[in-house]
């Protein structure tokens, strides 16, 4: 998926470069570099629950070591209740303090699950309406001349379907208002409501809505309405300098001991929590709300509404992804922060959930697959890719007038699909996912990336 692929910059400024588009699955490709093989399964698993959990931890450790990640933690929910949890490794490279099941990590984008749930509690209290324009609550919200700011609704923000670009610059200590001021003259990247494009800016706007309708800091509202009642006792948006939490690492090196932060970043990915904390939140969802959310709110939150990719079909609900894995309906979200990784996966029909954190960059979907295999008995293999076969469908010239891509051509070179970027407005990552979006007639209309959206203008 677009929002979990690593970024390594190859193309900057006005340098012309031709990069290959590697088929990934359905209408999704990676630009520049193919996705690396996932390697051997972690299973098989045997014995009772405790033995299988021990095997899961033991087999995860060498993967952390190879990635030069000093530690991680995992929690397993069975029959709707937190059953198993543990940490492995250390909180900080070169130190002895171990990671435990109660060690707090920066949880990154899985914070969006909690933000969305908090918005739903405000909707239940009549303080917001999801189909209302954001300008009802934020009259100061503006776009570039010619773009109608009232075209964006709260539901579009929740589902990343508003056509707003992502946050490019968010200095440490910047307020929501300061971040919005940096983007107040931005154009829409695509017509609001037309397609999915993951953006942290969306959840920063939702945080501002929370503050406007409650008159309080959004962090306090989310803690009061979601974290505390869900039993997330050690979770918060705060990290003291002397906090005994996990430190962020890249390449085995400590890159921060205290999160570099701005309010917009906190809104999109700032909750600091243990795996046990987040396991308790999954208990709430598995219990149909558990007295914290109404059952209708849980249904609304976990129903996929905007298609993310075609194969396997994935849809974004409110702060959560609905998809199918190994024949089971799953609800999940992943997260990457500077030097941190996270994943939450829930299988409602089996009362199962897995929460995993690592204090370094790692694709944790593989670990989640292994946990499903260990405790649900399903196949551990990842979804089999089903790449598109008609590469001719994507050939054409695309124009991104407002993002970083500029005008670019997608063309066939033998049986390879390539993209020629002539005058990009910003860096083009060396491994960037692109989802080609089709119109109502099945004709490719857009090339969607986290760095910009190009609309096909000619062939």
DSSP state of 85: E
pLDDT confidence of residue 15: 58
Residues in the chain where the model's pLDDT stays below 70: 1-15, 36-38, 240-242, 430, 459
Query: Does residue 65 contact residue 71 with C-beta atoms inside 8 Å?
Result: no
Residue 116: its H or E element:
helix 111-124
| 410-446 core/surface letters (b: 16 or more CB in 10 A; e: else) | bbeeeeebebebeebbebbbbbbbbbbbeeeeeebbb
Residue 44, judged by CB atoms within 10 A of its CB (0-12, 13-18, 19+), counts as: exposed
Residue 428: its H or E element:
strand 428-429
Coil, strand, or helix at residue 88?
strand
Query: Does residue 311 contact residue 26 with C-beta atoms inside 8 Å?
Result: yes
Query: Does residue 310 contact residue 389 with C-beta atoms inside 8 Å?
Result: no
- For 308, the token pair is 């993310």
Q: Residue 407 and residue 455: Cα distance in Å, rounded?
A: 9
**Backbone phi and psi for residue 173, each to the nearest 5 degrees, phi listed first:** 90, -5
pTM, whole model, 2 decimals? 0.94
- Residue ranges of E strands in 244-361: 248-250, 253-256, 272-273, 306-309, 314-316, 321-325, 328-337, 340-347, 352-358
Q: Which positions ≥6 away from 390 have C-beta within 8 Å?
A: none
Query: Does residue 436 contact residue 453 with C-beta atoms inside 8 Å?
Result: no
Q: Residue 303 and residue 292: Cα distance in Å, rounded?
A: 18
Q: Does the bond joining 325 to the residue before it have cis omega, within 30 degrees of 0?
A: no
Coil, strand, or helix at residue 411?
strand
DSSP state of 224: I
| 227-265 core/surface letters (b: 16 or more CB in 10 A; e: else) | beebbbeebbbebeeeeebbbbbeeeebebeebebbbbb
Query: Does residue 116 contact residue 124 with C-beta atoms inside 8 Å?
Result: no
- For 448, the token pair is 């969607």
Q: What angle do CA 84, 325, 329 make, to 5 degrees?
A: 80
**Backbone phi and psi for residue 118, each to the nearest 5 degrees, phi listed first:** -65, -40
Q: Residue 81 and residue 283: Cα distance in Å, rounded?
A: 6
pLDDT confidence of residue 207: 98
Pick from 306, 436, 434, 421: which is nearest to 3 by CA? 434
pLDDT confidence of residue 111: 98
Q: Residue 269 and residue 363: Cα distance in Å, rounded?
A: 17
pLDDT confidence of residue 38: 65
């Amino acid at each position: 998926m677009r929002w979990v692929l690593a970024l390594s910059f190859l193309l900057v400024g006005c340098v012309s470069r031709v990069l290959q588009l590697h088929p990934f699955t359905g209408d999704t490709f990676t630009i520049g570099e193919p996705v690396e093989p996932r390697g051997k399964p972690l299973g098989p698993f045997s014995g009772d629950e405790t033995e299988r959990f021990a095997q899961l931890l033991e087999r995860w450790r060498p993967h952390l070591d190879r990635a030069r990640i000093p530690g991680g933690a995992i929690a397993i929910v069975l029959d709707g209740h937190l059953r198993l949890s543990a940490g492995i490794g250390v909180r900080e490279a070169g130190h002895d303090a171990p990671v435990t099941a109660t060690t707090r990590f920066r949880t990154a984008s899985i914070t969006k699950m909690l933000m969305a749930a908090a918005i739903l509690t405000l909707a239940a209290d009549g303080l917001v309406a999801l189909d209302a324009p954001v300008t009802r609550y934020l009259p100061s919200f503006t776009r570039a001349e010619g773009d109608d700011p009232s075209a964006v609704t709260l539901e579009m923000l929740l589902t990343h379907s508003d056509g707003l670009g992502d946050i490019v610059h968010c200095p440490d200590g910047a307020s929501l208002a300061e971040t919005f001021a940096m983007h107040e003259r931005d154009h829409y990247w695509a017509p609001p409501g037309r397609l999915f494009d993951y953006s942290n800016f969306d959840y920063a706007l939702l945080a501002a809505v929370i503050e406007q309708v409650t008159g309080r800091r959004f962090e306090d509202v989310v803690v009061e309405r979601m974290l505390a009642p869900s039993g997330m006792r050690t979770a918060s948006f705060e990290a003291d300098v002397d906090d005994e939490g996990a430190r962020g690492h890249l390449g085995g090196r400590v890159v921060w001991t205290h999160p570099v932060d701005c309010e917009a970043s906190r809104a999109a990915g700032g909750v600091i929590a243990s795996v046990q904390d987040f396991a308790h939140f999954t208990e709430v969802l598995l219990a149909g709300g558990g007295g914290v959310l109404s059952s209708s709110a849980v249904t609304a939150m976990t129903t996929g509404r905007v298609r993310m990719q075609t194969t396997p079909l994935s849809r974004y609900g409110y702060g959560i992804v609905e998809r199918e894995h190994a024949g089971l309906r799953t609800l999940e979200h992943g997260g990457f922060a500077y030097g941190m990784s996270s994943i939450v996966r829930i299988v409602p029909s089996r009362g199962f959930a897995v929460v995993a954190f690592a204090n370094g960059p790692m694709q944790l979907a593989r670990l989640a697959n292994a946990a499903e295999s260990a405790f649900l008995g399903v196949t551990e293999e990842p979804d089999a890719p089903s790449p598109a076969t008609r590469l001719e469908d994507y050939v054409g010239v695309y124009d991104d007038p407002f993002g970083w891509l500029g005008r670019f051509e997608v063309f066939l070179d033998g049986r390879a699909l390539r993209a020629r970027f002539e005058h990009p407005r910003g860096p083009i990552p060396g491994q960037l996912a692109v989802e080609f979006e089709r119109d109502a007639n099945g004709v490719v209309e857009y090339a969607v990336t986290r760095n910009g959206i190009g609309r096909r203008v000619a062939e």
